[in-house]
Chain A
Amino acid sequence: MVRVKRKEKLNENVGKMVLEAGLIAKKAQPGQFVIVRAKEDSERIPLTIADYDREEGTVTIIYQIVGAGTMELDTVQEGESVQDLVGPLGKASETEGLKKVAVVGGGVGCAIAYPLAKKLHSQGAEVHSVVGFRNKGLVILEKEFEAVSDKLCMMTDDGSYGQKGLVTQALEELILAGNEYDEVIAIGPLPMMKFVCLLTKKYGIKTIVSMNPIMIDGTGMCGGCRLTVGGQTKFACVDGPDFDGHEVDFDEAMHRGTMYKEFEAHAREDACRLYQKEVQ
């Protein structure tokens, strides 16, 4: 059992929890993730370590409520405990030697991108952050990004906040303005990452993406998280979650992500009823 030290609502669909997990906090690196089980018999949900405090012995997770599992997680209140927390899993992101980087975050992917931007900033790199959301109500972590970015482009699909448009547009403008990036780091929904990669390929800029396929154990045991990268089978939980975006077979990954669509829809409806949320 792991206690929720603090809990906060970031927007209508996104929550944040600070969990008391000293051992994990001691080892955590940006890019790594944990697996949470809210209750006895809950699903195992992989979530990126959005932040950690080695002194306080805590790790922070930021979760978007998308289905039954995350809805159940959200019912755990401050002071209560989640059943299981395991980590840090996956490989840490490689940031060594990077001098100038564009960090592109889409939606809740910003929670994964933020600790990276922070680490890059703290090691003296020039960080340009491009963050995109569907609308103003969904914006998260704006202040945090501001604090660690030399330049921040805020984009919304509908123009209700920041600039109207997609993250790829803002990124292309930055590139055309003469910014020479050592690397682009793109984290967000699969289609977003796919299009960022198509763009950076055109300009020949190395691009790292963070893949989040469906996982169970997170230790390399089930093979459910497999992806094709550079024509080879990789397990995202142990070989990743970061991969060279120009090598990833995104179409296959998107397809594999739909495997349990129907089940998830049912589970979501049941959970909505159980936790008396609006079915959206």
Chain B
Amino acid sequence: MPNMDPKKNPMPVQDPYARICNFDEVALGYTYETAVSEAKRCLNCKHKPCVSGCPVEIDIPAFIAKVAAEDMEGAYEVLSRSTSLPAVCGRVCPQESQCEGKCVRGIKGEPVGIGRLERFVADWHREHGEENVERPQPNGHKVAVVGAGPSGLTAAGDLAKLGYEVTVYEALHLAGGVLVYGIPEFRLPKAIVQHEIESLKKLGVDIQTDMVIGKVLTIDELFEMGYEAVFVGSGAGLPRFMNIPGESLNGVYSANEFLTRINLMKAFRPNSSTPVQHAKAVAVVGGGNVAMDAARCAKRMGAEKVYIVYRRGMEELPARKEEVEHAEEEQIIFRTLCNPVEILDDGTGKVGGIRCVEMELGEPDESGRRRPVEKKGSEFEIGVDSVIMSIGTSPNPLIRSTTPGLEANRHGCLVTEGESGKTSRDGVWAGGDAVTGAATVILAMGAGKQAARAIDEAIRNA
């Protein structure tokens, strides 16, 4: 008998007043009983609309049916067929616009908590499951992967399972990409990412950190070393600035710098060797996941007032809905329809405030979103001592500038052929943010999967 409650089982969370003083995970996860009860809300629809919303096509009703039947290991097996990072995706996917956005239960009430169930199953497996990774039979072929973010790690895992000898080259001292340097601990505990990376190593994937491809080795040299194919998953890590006056004042950060100091370099720990400003009032410019993360980190670092300054409206915020809700609970102040025009000097070369202009929404632009236009004479100031620019990133030019024959478009994104991720350069595939520009974890993983399949095909047919 399905559970016909129109609402999802609520996710237990840390109290907002407590959590703004720590970096522990905010969402605590379903209990066993809640998970089973939530799973029973699924109607096991024959035409599975939810699956079409998932970029990696997880067989959603099948895994949920296993949860309802309390076969958690079985549920995990269903997930593993389509995703290698379920504990991550269950936490960070924008479910409302993907799987859950298509769920029939969402028509008359709330959709099934697919992401929450995915997370539960992955966590359950990590804590109780048997880890019996079998090293596949080597097939004698070598593939190199550039970048240890979700796209690169997925491609590496899939190829290793097929018997390839895979080496992942990562520029930073830690593997994980945005999962370790960008997304904060309180949203995605680093131990989980580490666990996923350890499983890959058990599969035989060799991860070489501190290797900036394009500098220490070029892609041409990787081919000389005997790799038959290269997958580029180097992400979109180059931060954009607005080019408004005052951006070089002390106290102005790119979101990447602020988050890297906190997450990768652990500046949130009291004894960390990496400094970060403990501002009293912070303006975060932008409205995506990155902006929410920066704002919530700033709050946790002790800021009394944290503003999100975004040029469109609340409806248009590109961040996951849950992050916006959590940010609101944490007293983040949303100044939407508002655009910065200048960062003000406090007289000593530090940030003293931010001057903004109010916006209104005009005609839709090419992206279909209504374009914000300035309201004349509406300028006003917000007093802050730090500004975090979170207005987007683009792919780093390092690889395309050192790899002859690798085509990129005018945004710097690598150009690929159809779904396979094949680039203009023979033997080179690419995927994730390096191709799409800043997007999502699950899309990056999907691209890594497709490319792994295409690489396998190409090598087998060679």
Contacts and interface: CB of A to CB of B under 8 A. Distances in A.
A69 to B, nearest CB: 7
Contacts of B237: 219-221
A223 B210 contact: no
Given A86-B173, A260-B275, A255 B250 contact: yes
Interface residues of B, number: 37
Interface stretch (A5-13, A38-46, A113-121, A142-150): A38-46
A221 B396 contact: yes
Given A219-B398, A223-B257, A43 B173 contact: no
Interface string B226-263: 00000000000111010100011011011011001100
B273 interface: yes
A41 B349 contact: no
A43 B266 CA distance: 10
A222 B260 contact: yes
A189 interface: no
Contacts of A89: 212, 215
Contacts of B181: 221
A252 interface: yes
B57 to A, nearest CB: 32
B241 A233 contact: yes
Contacts of A157: none
Interface in A139-165: none
A17 to B, nearest CB: 16
B196 to A, nearest CB: 20
A174 interface: no
A49 interface: no
B209 interface: yes
B248 A233 contact: yes
A42 B273 CA distance: 6
Nearest to B396: A220
For chain A, give the interface size range. 35 or more
B215 A87 contact: yes
Interface in A250-268: 252, 255-256, 258-260, 263-264, 267
Interface string A54-86: 000000000000001100100000000001111
B86 to A, nearest CB: 27
Nearest to B269: A41
A226 interface: yes
A87 B241 contact: no
Contact of A221 (B211, B239, B253): B239
A15 interface: no
B265 interface: yes
Given A87-B215, A233-B243, A258-B250, A221 B173 contact: no
A216 B382 CA distance: 29
A27 B217 CA distance: 8
Contact of A68 (B239, B273, B398): B273
Contacts of A226: 241, 248
A69 B273 contact: yes
B51 interface: no
A222 B212 contact: no
B265 A43 contact: yes
Which of B172, B253, B254, B277 has its CB near the most chain A CB atoms (within 10 A)? B172
A220 B254 CA distance: 11
Contacts of B277: 259
B398 A238 contact: yes
B254 A88 contact: no
A223 B398 contact: no
A43 B273 contact: yes
Contacts of A256: 248, 250
A73 B209 CA distance: 20
Interface string A210-249: 0000001101111110101000010000100000000000
Contacts of A88: 215-216
B171 A86 contact: yes
B334 to A, nearest CB: 25
A86 B266 contact: no
Given A83-B173, A86-B211, A267 B260 contact: no
B212 A223 contact: no
B173 A37 contact: yes
Nearest to A264: B275
A230 to B, nearest CB: 14
B172 A233 contact: no
Nearest to A90: B215
B273 A224 contact: no
A228 B249 CA distance: 11
Interface string B192-216: 0000000000000000011110011
B396 A219 contact: yes
Given A87-B215, A226-B241, 4 more contacts: A72-B273, A88-B216, A89-B212, A222-B256
13 contacts: A27-B216, A41-B266, A42-B273, A43-B265, A43-B274, A84-B209, A84-B210, A86-B210, A221-B256, A222-B239, A222-B260, A233-B247, A252-B248
Top 9 closest A-B pairs, CB basis?
A263-B275, A223-B254, A222-B257, A86-B210, A221-B237, A260-B275, A224-B257, A223-B239, A84-B173
